Amino acid sequence: MKVAFLLPSLRNLGPIIVVKDIVDGLLKNKNITVTVFYFDDIKEDVLSFGVNCIKIDFFKKQDFSDFDIIHSHGLRPDIYTFFNKTCKLTVSTQHNIVFEEYIINNSYMKSKLIEGIWTFSLLNKSKIVAIGETARKYYEKFYFCRTRVINIPNGRTLVSKGGVPEEDLRLIQNFKKNYICIGTCTRVIKLKGHKQIIQSLVELKEFCFVLIGDGDYLKELQKLANQLNVQDRCLFLGYRKNATAYLELFDIFSQTSYSESISIALLEAASAKKAIICSDIPVNRDVFSNEEVAFFALDNIESLVYSIRRLVSNKKVYESKVFQKYQQEYTSEKMSERYYKLYMSLINEV
């Protein structure tokens, strides 16, 4: 079986990490060969796939007739495989709930337009993979997608490359001498909801916040921390290539997003056996229960403060239960096995 993946780029971001984990799992099967195609060249933070990776032009036709499966990830790849008639069997994984993601930073009309274009590009897909039951129900509401949507949850196996630099380690350990450490490793965008943790620090005077990541919302968070006079308990370290190495330094992990698919950062925290504070959105409840993570109501700081205190009071119990659920359902091996079965079922139908 020959499988081609089509990506926007090879940048080290959540959806591309998911693809790499799928590829690594598929290559354990001797009857599979994989090629990765992508549009954009980037100079920094490139994921290495260990297979042939080929840059192509979005505006030029690529012959995919030699491949049994073409698996697209992202808006441009989905559009490209819609117009490319050399694709035999096409699969698209939807890493988001389109409207919910875009409405955070865009107008209603623009968000609806993007949603319409994206879902239209799914018309020719043999299967549409939604990540979680909430996402499956969202895509099934589009009549032309309804019979072709399936749910395959993300999976992630934690791999830390390199330790924490001495300077970062010193800074975090100094914080931890006086405070309980809330930490997270994600892109710093409005959608991720980091401001809620900063707001909670006004009440949670025995806590500090460590953020590993960079993005266009970082200056807003720094400004907010200064306005609330909690800047001395916030540590913004910026982007770190080995971000997962920092997980062991956090007392609890925060996942505060307004919208998600199944968050890679959330699964990495679970695999590291972290106690997790989690925004109460349907997608997160697809993954874990009240017994496994502590949920809080979005933009309700009183709820967040209460849930963090409850999480810390029962830290060992939460750590054990979330890790157990992770091992049962959300390893990268389980994810790639589910995709392998999907590919085989499509080929056998032809």
pLDDT band at residue 275 under the 50/70/90 scheme: very high
Domain spans of the chain, in order of start: 2-155+332-349, 166-329
Say what the pLDDT of residue 160 is: 65
Q: Between the CA of residue 90 and those of 37, 53, 189, 335, what are the distances in Å?
A: 14, 19, 31, 18
166-329 and 2-155+332-349 share a CATH fold: yes
**Which uninterrupted H or E stretch holds 8?**
strand 2-9
Q: What is the pLDDT of residues 19-57, one digit of tens each?
A: 999 999 999 988 899 999 999 999 888 889 989 999 999
What is the predicted pLDDT for the residue at 254?
97
Query: C-alpha dihedral over 147, 288, 187, 243, to 10 degrees?
Result: -120
How much is the average pLDDT of 136-158?
Answer: 89
Reported pTM: 0.86
Contact 38, 15 (CB under 8 A): no
One CATH from 3.20.20.70, 1.10.443.10, 3.40.50.2000, 3.30.428.10 for 166-329: 3.40.50.2000
Q: Is the pLDDT of residue 177 over 80?
A: yes
Q: What is the mean pLDDT of the chain?
A: 93
Range 183-194 average pLDDT: 93
Burial of 213 (0-12, 13-18, 19+ CB in 10 A): buried
Domain 2-155+332-349: CATH superfamily is: Glycogen Phosphorylase B; (3.40.50.2000)
**350 pLDDT above the threshold of 60:** no
63-111 pLDDT, tens digit each: 999 999 999 999 999 999 999 989 889 999 999 999 988 988 899 999 9
Helix axes 75-83, 108-120, angle to 10 degrees: 40
> Is residue 33 within 8 Å of residue 4, measured between CB atoms?
no
Average pLDDT over residues 170-198: 94
Alpha carbon dihedral 341, 345, 347, 350, in 10-degree steps, equals 180
- For the stretch 294-335, pLDDT in tens is 999 999 999 999 999 999 999 999 999 999 999 999 999 999
What ranges make up the beta strands (E) of 124-204?
127-130, 149-151, 180-185
Cβ burial 19-41 (10 Å sphere, 16+ → b, else e): bbbbbbbbeeeeebbbbbbbbee
